[in-house]
Amino acid sequence: MAAKILDGRAIAARWRDWAKARVEAFRARTGHVPGLATVLIGDHPASQSYVQAKQNACAAAGIRTFHYRLPAEVDQETVMKLLGTLACNPEVNGILVQLPLPSHLDEEEILSAIPLEKDVDGFHPMNLGRLGLKGRDPYFIPCTPLGILAMLQEAGIPIAGRRAVILGRSRIVGLPMALLLLRLDATVTICHSRTPDLATVTRQADLLIAAVGRPGLVRGEMVQPGAVVIDVGINRVADSQAPRGYRLVGDVAFEEVAAIASAITPVPGGVGPMTVAMLLVNTLKAAQRQLEGFASPWLEDGL
């Protein structure tokens, strides 16, 4: 079986256009330009390129960005003060603190200082908690899981009643992905670094989502024939032929798994562009909620 390739670049481009059209209509209705503040602490090279990509996408969609770059050794109080200022600034509708943070900073306190209604990454403990509770909506769904949902919806891949296995339990991807799929009535298993015999679990998955950060972790023999495989991993591997001396690969051994799965996301060009597109969607919704009173965190009106 040759898997269908879920083309994240193409789907994300349509969502970016979706957001751009709605940002323009919102500006015409309210006179307000949606604004996103990005906070980057330290000089982690991958984080710099992610923040740059997010800023570029905002600019293309008509969203204003306010960028704050702080040195790696910045103290907690300075970060908290900045977040306090951004929380009160009416031009800033969304606040994004790029993770990971330097280890001396208190991530919990920092993420909890972002007001719920500006938490466009959806990492505030209250937003994460609500995501897991039936009948309680979060203000925002984290961008990577939301982007994966958009891809599954576009490809017509059912979720309810399916067996989903998620590799990774991080706050950014694994845990919110699990909560989201649970909300959507999948039977969910979460695997992590202490899970023994991963293959026995992964082989039961109709939907397998890998968010670990280990190149080629998921091999062909770990996948049930016909499964849908979503590769979230972004790993730099040395490649002397590549212009930058490295290339990007996912957590999935792509060729092997594509021969077995029914659908698969490539890396690059899979989940990554969807994450950026969903940040635009969430920032627009933040502005709508703040100025017009309501915005659903779900993709209910589709493309």
Q: Which residues in this chain contact ligand NAD in the complex, by CB under 6 A?
A: 144, 167-170, 172-174, 191-193, 195, 198, 211-213, 232-235, 271-272, 275
Classify strands 228-231 and 235-238 as parallel, antiparallel or unpaired.
unpaired
Least distance CB 151 / ligand NAD (angstroms): 11
Sequence-ordered alpha helix ranges (H) in 155-185: 174-183
Pick the closer one to ligand NAD by CB: 98 or 288.
98
Pick the closer one to ligand NAD by CB: 23 or 232.
232
Task: List C-alpha distances in Å: 79 to 76, 113, 123, 215.
Answer: 5, 10, 17, 33
Least distance CB 14 / ligand NAD (angstroms): 17
Tokens representing 117 are 């209604």
Least distance CB 250 / ligand NAD (angstroms): 8
| Cross-sheet strand order for the sheet of 94-97 | 64-70, 35-41, 94-97
Kindly compute the dihedral angle of the four CA atoms of residues 285, 286, 290, 294, in this order, to the nearest 10 degrees.
Answer: 40
Least distance CB 206 / ligand NAD (angstroms): 18
Sign of the alpha-carbon torsion through 279, 280, 283, 284: negative
Catalytic residues: 54, 98, 121
Pick the closer one to ligand NAD by CB: 193 or 241.
193
Q: For 206-294, where are the E strands, in sequence order? A: 207-210, 228-231, 235-238, 246-249, 263-264
Pick the closer one to ligand NAD by CB: 26 or 230.
230
Identify whether 100 is preceded by a cis peptide bond (ω within 30 of 0): yes
